[in-house]
Amino acid sequence: MIQQKPKRIGRRPAKEPVSTMDTLHDTVTIMKPFVVLSIKALQVIASALVFIIKNIPKPEDHKTGGSKSNKVIKI
């Protein structure tokens, strides 16, 4: 009779060990699109804030009449 080796359930064949550089490379490859998207989103937010701040009127612009408002009339 032919003798067969019993199969072991739950045992996988031995794989090559994963190096740190392989893991780092995979992480950079996966995360790069998200980093680029977040940088572009921050640029849009920053440009919007700069636009808003530049368009806020300055307090000197609200003064009307110039020297007339400084005069005091005594009766």
Rounded to whole angstroms, the Cα distance separating 32 from 44 reads 19
pLDDT confidence tier of residue 70, bands split at 50, 70 and 90? low
Contacts of 63 (CB under 8 A, 6+ apart): 69
How do residues 38-52 score in pLDDT, each as one tens digit?
999 999 999 999 999
pLDDT in tens, 52-62: 999 988 777 66
Is the pLDDT at 63 greater than 80? The verdict is no
Q: Which residue has the higher pLDDT, 18 or 20?
A: 20
- The pLDDT of residue 68: 54
* Whether residue 3 has pLDDT greater than 90: no
Rg, C-alpha atoms of the chain: 36
**Residue in this structure with the two tokens 């977040």, named with its chain if needed:** 38
- The tokens for 75 are 């009766």
Q: Rounded to whole angstroms, how far apart are CA atoms 39 and 8?
A: 50
